[in-house]
Structure 1
């Protein structure tokens, strides 16, 4: 029976790690691959692919040749992996430093960097037991990457491939195709920026991701070299913030209270037109704004309740989004099929042999240092099911040195529900960080600076220094990524943050006056706070609301008044129990909605915790998402401007189409 690709890669790795003089292709082909086909070309291609896969995982495969012989002579060329060249240096952290590490790893909730951050922490944990840590009570900051474009740009940047995309130029207002060598990606002023070399203009340029009008295409057959010492934080510090301007927007009478308050509270804004009655049942407001694309996304989501009047670039941006949403919603429905119930439907990414092998290489040192753990604890630590863990263990116990003798195999037992390892074949130290892992952790640590409630005493600086030393060259390349600040942006928000944090820690109720955009109303509520969490610098808190007798999420910047009410939290409220993996918790009364996403909108599947995923040939996908309130779904479709539409239930799809058509009629007559 042929072995799986994962098992083949693992056996090749063990063989190359445990040879001093190297192994030739003939030995590897016979003893590791067990290939008797006689097809040298096919074997050569397979071997080269496997070597490249091992290199991507951090293993340097050395090529050795005898003096006087060429490297392309397969009879005299040997291969090996140095035992120390690929290993993560030993590094120790104290309890406060572990607090910083865990918070930093949780920042990247979704996407590739989320997986990389969790992998990096498991590598650090694999060389010893996790120190007893106490995370700040209920505090869970998160970074919200800018959709699928963010993932594509990070992958291309780390692999050093150029990218191509269409971009709405601020100077001309026209969409233009750009081919860029991506040097760095970072967040400033609430926006994500790409900085790199524009090949057409033959000069460095920066690009706001909010102005991308197409998916990112990676030119994977081409490579580039970034300038030495490039630091995205230093480059972004030189960017001026966009000037504050005034937009003229017509707002339906009696609607959009939150927007009206923003218009009334605008400070440092050029004089806005006075509110006046419009014959069509609308009021005219002046709104402060900096980026027309950001404001256009919001105005488009309000559909016919808000109509942009000026400036012209804002009007054009809203109309463009609405038209794209209308065209996508009216296009033919795709053919799709969700995976079966046993296929693990939730994940939006495909598990690979490399993913499984990397997990197993973390599993072996973890078991060495944590003998006798219950199998459920091990599975939970790695975020997999018991069935997946047992599949990994079965592959491990069948893997080892080419001889195949009992002492040449990994020896792992799980008896009475506990796991033990007695033969590790020198896999006791985790593999060094990949570029993605180093970037995720180091960027996360830097982002935590200034966050209230984070461990002090120089823990942040100590963790940054230790991680940089352990990461080596991969750590230096982390300077190409910079996250947004996660600190509350105003003194009032900082005060509320502290009030909620203290109430969570002390188990006390709060009374708040809350502005609900969906209801267009102010309500007074008594709540039992459970946890604080953020998306970039926008902070929310989850609480049990006694007004609606259920769990709700409240944005701090929509809280008008907040104070303790003198009562303890009720016994019906579940304890926070640390920070959960998900920001939003599904409820029994949620509605399951089938949504189609384009390739550009794929990131929404992770943002909204898609429960089933069906891939489409064009790179898009169809997903099932649970929503607690479906009344705002037309706003959801309009906001995302042609990257998302509702397929089912039909009445929700129809409501979104009518909403968008009514909005377009305000612009197109």
Structure 2
């Protein structure tokens, strides 16, 4: 969509909104399109495309037909947009309800639904429904979607397009091509699932997103109709959790303390020297662990989940049984080795200031029009804001905002008088609007309704919110405002965000409230060691049900993020927090705090792995043919890089520095060699 088309669509929208009788196609062609050269057929196609664009923004174009009086008096068709049917209903929220709503919107960290949630909040702000709300320090949960596959599947689900992908079947262990109508996506037992109609098998099926073996292809030329009243949470409630099984693994002596803590009784903590039978020796083909290794018995439920973890440990661990787990680890290591050996693309990033310094979806003219439709009512309810503040609220530069405003002040009713144009002034850097042509916040899209309502449903897992009435009341108000689109939110269900380790969470929250230092005993998987630290607790937040404590660490002399499930002991040390300790300025809190001694690494990501650029806060990105991505990422410890490459099994590889890339290749090759004996 070009800038001229953006302006044309805006003028078309204003014209259709501000007519009660409706406008004939001939009138629109002359007064809005100023079209006198194209054929009737070409103009008709353009007009239909524009109506489709307006429908995507939430505006339904009504078609009215006047029947003629006879054969010599043909019927007349008129078009208009009903203001009330397309307008967001009034929503009045209390400060407590606003707090809950903002928490729900911020659950989606940087996924596409995060943008939809932000758009929905802006609509409520523009309508005057949001008031100031202070977020609680101890309740800042977030949802981490399952990578690019999640993004593609949600988009296809809302657009009602079928999808295809390769899937690692749990029953056969083989990759199979699947053609699926995506009905719903939800989280269960810590895993994301797609529920839909498998056209190949002619029945409903459940697909674990972690088992997708390829990128998702959306069949945009096909469509489907989901079953009426479908509720993905209800569907997933019927799934039985996988039974607990045991894996036999050989681990280098003194390594992998975290894995050793999960090992069950009967594991050998020392290398065998007597030749006596060790756990797992009864397995077909199993031999005693080699010198310098211990044999452990580790409980698990899902081979793919444990396989991802064990693959990251590289040559420090070798799986003995079961065969399914051996296959899962070997497949990841082989994929990582093959990707590492592939030809290296040119490493070229956009020049500074080229607008693509950080990974984000390329802005389009559709984005600009959607933003301008939010901007007009926002300015009407927030008169006199500084232009820089307005730009910051919409996540754009001042230059982009001024481009929006210049288009807006040239838009209005067709062939209207000066009073029929949008009237916006910002000469003194404070933005005022005196004529808004009745552009009001439009009703929620299905993506916006899903983002907010799914977020509110997810917050039910937090006792301090579920016990109050604000969560229930704001959900009722949002359901009423969302209307039919709100019913479609049942196709999406988030994970549980309630903490498993409530005692540590309560201790940390109380220390934050009192301003008291904490002493903790912490296990670090990066260094494979346990350390004691004195910290100033600052705030708590989560990804799904994994909770983190952001604190100033006196040992490291800087901000650090500690996983609560890796804290072995936690108690006040009797000292107050230091006066200089302050939380990082960002919200949501980043899991990684950059430091001067970080290692900057260039990573290549496949299309399946592009979401890692956001997960690891890439500082620069550059697109690659086929949908892949180059990403420049900071890592606090270079020792962890081989684990990163092995863990992601063929979706990520290190390119620069070459020494670290070579080290990662050697790590993966050494790990794979253990299974080729």
- Distance in 2 of aligned mates of 1:139 and 1:358: 31
The offset of 1:508, in angstroms, is 1.8
Change (3 A) 1:396 1:5: same
Using the TM superposition, name which of 379-388 and 182-191 deviates more. 379-388
Counterpart contact for 1:595–1:645, Cα < 8 Å: yes
- The correspondence for 2:369, drawn from 344, 357, 363, is 357
1:554 counterpart residue number: 562
Aligned ranges for residues 444-463 of structure 1 at < 5 Å? 444-454=455-465, 456-463=467-474
- Distance in 1 of aligned mates of 2:617 and 2:290: 43
Change (3 A) 1:59 1:537: same
The offset of 1:592, in angstroms, is 2.3
Using the TM superposition, name which of 446-455 and 515-524 deviates more. 446-455
Aligned ranges for residues 416-435 of structure 1 at < 5 Å? 416-427=428-439, 429-435=440-446
- Distance in 1 of aligned mates of 2:524 and 2:304: 24
Counterpart contact for 1:104–1:445, Cα < 8 Å: yes
1:38-64 Cα deviation digits (max 9, x unpaired): 344443333222211110111001222
Counterpart contact for 1:533–1:583, Cα < 8 Å: no
- The correspondence for 2:279, drawn from 250, 268, 273, is 273
- Distance in 2 of aligned mates of 1:74 and 1:532: 69
- Distance in 2 of aligned mates of 1:435 and 1:177: 29
2:604 counterpart residue number: 596
Gaps of 5+ in 1: none
Q: Does 1:255 align with 2:255?
A: yes
Change (3 A) 1:96 1:3: closer
| Superposition CA RMSD, Å | 2.3
1:467-496 Cα deviation digits (max 9, x unpaired): 11110111000001000011112xxx1011
1:371 counterpart residue number: 383
- The correspondence for 1:405, drawn from 390, 408, 417, is 417
2:233 counterpart residue number: 233
Counterpart contact for 1:509–1:527, Cα < 8 Å: yes
- Distance in 2 of aligned mates of 1:405 and 1:447: 50
The offset of 1:613, in angstroms, is 2.1
Secondary structure of the residue that 1:222 maps to in structure 2?
A: coil
The offset of 1:236, in angstroms, is 0.8
2:169 counterpart residue number: 169
Counterpart contact for 2:264–2:299, Cα < 8 Å: no
- The correspondence for 1:657, drawn from 642, 647, 665, is 665
- Distance in 2 of aligned mates of 1:595 and 1:397: 44
Secondary structure of the residue that 1:467 maps to in structure 2?
A: helix
Change (3 A) 1:561 1:3: closer
Aligned ranges for residues 236-385 of structure 1 at < 5 Å? 236-264=236-264, 273=279, 278-335=289-346, 337-345=348-356, 346-385=358-397
- The correspondence for 2:548, drawn from 531, 535, 540, is 540
The offset of 1:266, in angstroms, is 11
The offset of 1:65, in angstroms, is 2.7
Gaps of 5+ in 2: 268-277, 282-286
2:140 counterpart residue number: 140
TM-score computed with the length of structure 1 as normaliser: 0.94
- Distance in 2 of aligned mates of 1:472 and 1:551: 44
The offset of 1:130, in angstroms, is 3.3
Counterpart contact for 2:548–2:563, Cα < 8 Å: yes
The offset of 1:290, in angstroms, is 0.3
Aligned ranges for residues 464-475 of structure 1 at < 5 Å? 464-475=475-486
Aligned ranges for residues 384-395 of structure 1 at < 5 Å? 384-395=396-407
1:104 counterpart residue number: 104
Change (3 A) 1:578 1:506: farther
Secondary structure of the residue that 1:197 maps to in structure 2?
A: strand
Using the TM superposition, name which of 334-343 and 635-644 deviates more. 334-343
2:273 counterpart residue number: none
2:122 counterpart residue number: 122
Aligned ranges for residues 145-160 of structure 1 at < 5 Å? 145-160=145-160
Counterpart contact for 2:550–2:583, Cα < 8 Å: no
- Distance in 1 of aligned mates of 2:108 and 2:245: 33
Q: Does 1:439 align with 2:450?
A: yes
Counterpart contact for 2:68–2:75, Cα < 8 Å: no
Counterpart contact for 2:67–2:74, Cα < 8 Å: no
Counterpart contact for 2:91–2:129, Cα < 8 Å: no
1:200-238 Cα deviation digits (max 9, x unpaired): 111111111111111111111111111111111111111
1:208 counterpart residue number: 208
- Distance in 2 of aligned mates of 1:59 and 1:255: 60
TM-score computed with the length of structure 2 as normaliser: 0.93
The offset of 1:68, in angstroms, is 5.0
1:407-456 Cα deviation digits (max 9, x unpaired): 111001114321111000001x2011010100010000010113154385
1:589-617 Cα deviation digits (max 9, x unpaired): 33322111111112112211222222222
- Distance in 2 of aligned mates of 1:584 and 1:454: 28
2:506 counterpart residue number: 498
The offset of 1:138, in angstroms, is 4.8
Change (3 A) 1:296 1:274: closer
Counterpart contact for 1:360–1:392, Cα < 8 Å: yes
Counterpart contact for 1:595–1:623, Cα < 8 Å: yes
Secondary structure of the residue that 1:113 maps to in structure 2?
A: helix
Counterpart contact for 1:119–1:437, Cα < 8 Å: yes
1:34 counterpart residue number: 34
- Paired positions, count: 658
Q: Does 1:65 align with 2:73?
A: no
Q: Does 1:221 align with 2:221?
A: yes
